[in-house]
Structure 1
Amino acid sequence: MNAEEILARLVAFPSVVGRPNGEIVEFIRTYAESFGAKVTVAPGPEGDRANLFATIGPAHVPGFILSGHMDVVPAGEPDWTSNPFALRAEGQRLYGRGASDMKGFLACALAALPALAVAPLARPIHLAFSYDEEAGCRGVRHLIDLLPRLCAKPEGCIVGEPSGMRAIRAHKGKAAARIEIRGRSGHSSRPDQGLNAIHAMAEVLAKAVRSIEQLKAGPFNANFAPPYSSLQIGTVAGGQALNVIPDYCSAEIEARAIAGVSPAALLEPVVMAATKLADRGFKVSSELLSEYPALSLAAEAPLARLLEELTGEEPLAAVSYGTEAGLYQAAGVEAIICGPGDIARAHRADEYIEIGELAACRRMIEDLGARLRH
């Protein structure tokens, strides 16, 4: 099968984040094993989702990881013009949920397996396909923990998020938290007898807004847009009716941090402001929903130079969105981003990838394999 045919099969699996993914894992396992790959299916703690790791070549020597996620965001947008889980071709475009983010990369890696299998690789290529990346890179953490049992320490990792086949050396880190405040209900005519959870949350949100303004003062990294770390209040929910004192309010807040700054640490002042409300009778809880570190690969790093040679273009310095690459780097495996498609097409109706982008990605992977031969 070529990359377009494999992509059609992958898109047909509705592997939405947070749901079981056994069918797509089994398809990839069977396909990869048919070309001699050694495949490990590693279920996560959820029990109904799994990562997949496949190796072509000798696993006991350092090689390279091709990393991608099998999950996609839901396809509930009302303006899809075709079934999001049935790949549709129109000219040079292939439409479907995950076509760019990031089943296109998975399809290219799998389409390259026949060529990699017949080449006598002196150093291996590993396929590391994860689950629930769209929920804060949950699945790949378990896969990274298993790496020492699966292969020699890799020389590098190429994370195939959509980048227009232009390598990217850095991205921001991210942390997200949910804060819940519980007060005491009552009739709005007697606010003195209740504890208004929304009023209390307003104080927490005010602290978040002040933090947002403070972050604009730096530290700075000109490679990012914006060039500083940021904070955002994403959701707020609470209250039952206008004349009822609200006894519950929740808010979800995210932080995005430049390299060298802990994203979770950016949330701490806001969480502390909420915690202090307990002194006034409120019950407060907070939950860290997700966290992943920033990626920062030096321009002179061998992996950056390798991708420049494979793509013919100098890697971009940075992007502001996040990927699994920061987790690989934090685990001691140098990582870089490079994949087909465009992040601007992701998470929206009529997501698509171009046939030429698939061809360029497959060539890059096969060229990498050629460098690893005997």
Structure 2
Amino acid sequence: MHVVEILRKLVGFPSVVGTSNDAIVGWIDAHLRAFGVEAHILPGPEGDRANLFATIGPSDRPGYILSGHMDVVPAHEAGWRTDPFELRAEDERLYGRGTSDMKGFLAAVLAAVPALTARPLARPVHLAFSYDEEAGCRGVPHLLARLPDLCAPPLGAVIGEPSGMRAILAHKGKAAARINVKGRSGHSSRPDLGRNAVHAMADVLNAAIATAENLAEGPFDDAFEPPYSSLQAGTIVGGQAVNIIPDLCTLEVEARAISSIDPISLLAPLREAAEALRARGFAVEWEILSAYPALSLPPTAALAGLLRELTGKAPLAAVSYGTEAGLYQRAGVDAIICGPGDIARAHKPDEFILASELAACQAMVEALAARCRA
């Protein structure tokens, strides 16, 4: 099946983050079985979604992982000219939700399966397709926990996020948290009888603002834009009406950390400010929504050299967005980012990928197969 037709099938599955992915997993499994490749379907704790892992070649020898996520962000935003879950072709452009992020990579890998299975591989190529990456990389940790049972320690993992088919060596880490502050409601004419949760949350919000300002003063890593860690309050919700003392306020924040810093540690001043509200009679709930570490692969790493050879392009030092690559690295697997498409096209109406980008990615995977026969 041609890569564009595979992409058409994948885009047709509305595998939105946080929902069941049984349909897309089943189709990929059937596609692989048609070429004699047995996939391991690895259900997650949610019960309605799963990771998929398959090996082409000898699983008891070190090889390479091609890693991508099957989920996409929702497509409710205005501006789509046609159904986002039906692939639309206009000259070189192929439109649809997930075309760049990152079903284009999955399609290119699956289109290369005939080449991967044509002749025996001396080193294996593994396909690792995850779920709920768009919710903070929630699915892949369960896959990584099973990795020692599935294959020999890999030589490296290529995470196919959209990078214009140029390898990327590093990205920032991220942690996101939700803070709930609960007070006591009442009539606004008697503020002395209530506890205003919105007012109390101001302490946490001020801590977030002060932390963000402090982070902008360093430490620095010039590989990133901006070259420092960052923090922001993303949403705040509270209150019912102007004449009711609000008894609940919810704040969601995220931190993005340069390679040398644990992103969760950046949230510590906010948690301290939130916990201090207990002494004033407020109930406080603190929840980490998602977290993943930064990626930092040395430019001298063998995996970096391999991607330079496969793509014909020198790797880029870093990007500021995050991927599953940091989790692979933390699990002891060298990881690098390289995939078709452009991150600037993702998460917006009329997302698209170029047919030439799909072809380039398929060629890279087939070149990897040739290397693994040597």
TM-score class, shorter: over 0.9
Which residue in the other structure is 2:191 paired with?
Answer: 191
Contact 1:119-1:370 within 8 A present in 2 as well: no
Q: Deviations over 1:220-259 (max 9, x none)?
A: 1000000000001000000000011100000000000000
Q: In 2, distance between residues paired with 1:56 and 1:158?
A: 15
In the alignment, structure 1 segments of 5+ residues that lack a partner are none
Question: Is residue 367 of structure 1 aligned with residue 367 of structure 2?
Answer: yes
Contact 1:176-1:290 within 8 A present in 2 as well: yes
3-state SS of paired residue (1:372): helix
Which residue in the other structure is 2:338 paired with?
Answer: 338
Q: Runs of 4+ in structure 1 displaced over 4 angstroms?
A: none
3-state SS of paired residue (2:158): strand
Question: Mapping of 1:85-234 within 5 angstroms?
Answer: 85-234=85-234
Question: Mapping of 1:32-43 within 5 angstroms?
Answer: 32-43=32-43
Deviation at 1:158, TM superposition (A): 0.1
Q: Deviations over 1:33-83 (max 9, x none)?
A: 111212100000000000000111000000000000000000001110011
Deviation at 1:269, TM superposition (A): 1.0
Letter matched to residue 307 of structure 1: L
Question: Is residue 17 of structure 1 aligned with residue 25 of structure 2?
Answer: no
3-state SS of paired residue (1:15): coil
Which residue in the other structure is 2:242 paired with?
Answer: 242
Which residue in the other structure is 1:5 paired with?
Answer: 5
Deviation at 1:102, TM superposition (A): 0.2
Contact 1:167-1:308 within 8 A present in 2 as well: yes
Which residue in the other structure is 1:259 paired with?
Answer: 259
Letter matched to residue 153 of structure 1: P
Moved more, 33-42 or 259-268: 33-42
Q: What number of residue pairs does the alignment pair up?
A: 374
Letter matched to residue 345 of structure 1: R
TM-score where L is the length of structure 1:
0.99
Letter matched to residue 129 of structure 1: F
Question: Is residue 66 of structure 1 aligned with residue 66 of structure 2?
Answer: yes
Q: In 1, distance between residues paired with 2:120 and 2:208?
A: 56
Q: In 2, distance between residues paired with 1:251 and 1:119?
A: 55
3-state SS of paired residue (1:187): coil
Letter matched to residue 335 of structure 1: A
Q: In 2, distance between residues paired with 1:299 and 1:259?
A: 14
Q: Deviations over 1:148-189 (max 9, x none)?
A: 000001000000000000100000000000000000111111
Letter matched to residue 197 of structure 1: A
Deviation at 1:119, TM superposition (A): 2.1
3-state SS of paired residue (2:154): coil
Which residue in the other structure is 1:287 paired with?
Answer: 287
Q: Deviations over 1:70-107 (max 9, x none)?
A: 00000001110011000000010000000000000000
Deviation at 1:260, TM superposition (A): 1.3
3-state SS of paired residue (1:245): coil
3-state SS of paired residue (1:55): strand
Q: In 2, distance between residues paired with 1:39 and 1:99?
A: 23
3-state SS of paired residue (2:373): coil
Q: In 2, distance between residues paired with 1:332 and 1:326?
A: 10
TM-score where L is the length of structure 2:
0.99
Identity of aligned residues (%): 66
Letter matched to residue 166 of structure 1: R
How big is the alpha-carbon RMSD for the aligned residues of Structure 1 and Structure 2?
0.5
Contact 1:162-1:341 within 8 A present in 2 as well: yes
Which residue in the other structure is 1:45 paired with?
Answer: 45
Q: Deviations over 1:244-297 (max 9, x none)?
A: 110000000000000010100000110110011000100001100000000000
Q: In 2, distance between residues paired with 1:181 and 1:281?
A: 10
Q: In 1, distance between residues paired with 2:167 and 2:190?
A: 61
